[in-house]
Amino acid sequence: MTTLPPESPPPGPPASAGAPHLQRQVAEGFGADPGRYDRARPTYPADLVERIVAASPGRDVADVGCGTGISSRLFRAAGCRVLGIDPDPRMAEQARKGGTEVEVAKFEDWDPAGRSFDAVVAAQSWHWVDLTAGAAKAAAVLRPGGRLAVFWNAFDPPRELREAFGAVYRRALPDSPLRGLWSRPPVETYRAGGARAADGMRQAGGFGEPEEWLADWARPYTRDEWLDFVPTMGGFRQFPAGVREQILDGLGAAVDAAGGAFTMGYTTLAVTAARLAS
């Protein structure tokens, strides 16, 4: 259990970079193929979900930026009553197909209509929320002792593949900041973004000191499974078609050279704080 430092550096998760209109384009791109997103995106570790539930006073959960319901289903499986909130009606409809109740709204603008919750969670989505306004909204809807928990999956392939993936991106995107996507383990970037989320909780008030929780796990990928996932990465759809094809061909060749399959290491990083009683 780690206490996060205040006044952390500004970088956040990769998808949060760029001008506002580009951020909006990236965010809206996720709903272009919600079926692929739901199928190809990784899950989250059950022990983290169980830890969040155990640290909350009850089992009423609001899932912010629930997307297609990947995280919502995990909390439902843990015995929670889950309300999803997502600004994209296409993603919301996919989540409803999986049994999640969803209201379409930006979290900062969402009307809770007097409802309160034991936990507010956000899986791979809190960097799309205004960090201070979002934390203030969470504090307003949480019961005393309720928990805000925001988390991200940071992936790290075997070293040889990380180097090969990096070479693909440098060739395909020589003038883009994303050319360095694989230059260091992404958990470093997500930890910086997590520290910014903690600062937002402090600035919003109403919470105890934020903590960082880490959960390490792994998932095997075949070549086809990995290439199914890559187009769901933030910003991928904004690349020209030729660049997208070059990236997918290069990544596929790299996995082929590694035997056609590999195991991706994941670290799920959560930043969490409890709602104060007063």
Q: What is the per-residue DSSP string for 107-161? A: GGG---TT--EEEEEEES-GGGS-HHHHHHHHHHHEEEEEEEEEEEEEEE--HHH
The answer on pLDDT for 182 being more than 70 is yes
The pLDDT of residue 175 is: 86
The answer on pLDDT for 190 being more than 70 is yes
| Helix, strand and coil in the chain, % to nearest 5 | 50, 25, 30
Note the CATH number of domain 2-156+184-218+266-274.
Answer: 3.40.50.150
The answer on pLDDT for 214 being more than 90 is yes
According to DSSP, the residues that pair with 117 across neighbouring strands are 142
pLDDT in tens, 245-260: 999 999 999 999 999 9
The pLDDT of residue 178 is: 77
Bigger pLDDT: 21 vs 192: 192
The answer on pLDDT for 91 being more than 80 is yes
The pLDDT of residue 31 is: 62
The answer on pLDDT for 122 being more than 90 is yes
The pLDDT of residue 3 is: 37
Domain assignments of the chain as residue spans, ordered by start: 2-156+184-218+266-274
- For tokens 């933030």, what's the residue? 234
User: Residue 17 corresponds to which amino acid?
Assistant: A
The pLDDT of residue 29 is: 60
pLDDT in tens, 124-133: 999 999 999 9
The answer on pLDDT for 1 being more than 60 is no
- For tokens 């187009």, what's the residue? 231
The answer on pLDDT for 123 being more than 80 is yes
- For residue 8, name the pLDDT band (cuts at 50, 70, 90): very low
CB 48 within 8 A of CB 151: yes
Tokens of 204: 């919003």
CB 259 within 8 A of CB 222: no
Tokens of 264: 């991706």
Report the alpha-carbon angle 231-234-239, nearest 5: 65
Name the least confident of 17-26, 227-236, 256-265.
Answer: 17-26
Considering the chain, what is the average pLDDT of its residues? 90
The answer on pLDDT for 109 being more than 80 is yes
Q: Which of helix, strand or coil describes residue 167?
A: helix
Computed on alpha carbons and rounded to an integer, the radius of gyration of the chain in Å comes to 18
The pLDDT of residue 28 is: 58
Mean pLDDT of 155-168: 94
Q: Which of helix, strand or coil describes residue 57?
A: coil
Backbone angles phi, psi at 71, to 5 degrees: -75, -35
The pLDDT of residue 18 is: 45
Q: Which of helix, strand or coil describes residue 242?
A: helix
- Beta carbons within 8 Å of 211's beta carbon, 6+ residues apart: 1, 2, 3, 4, 271, 272, 273
Distance separating alpha carbons of residues 209 and 198, to the nearest angstrom: 8
The answer on pLDDT for 34 being more than 70 is yes
For residue 122, how far is the Cα from the chain centroid? 7
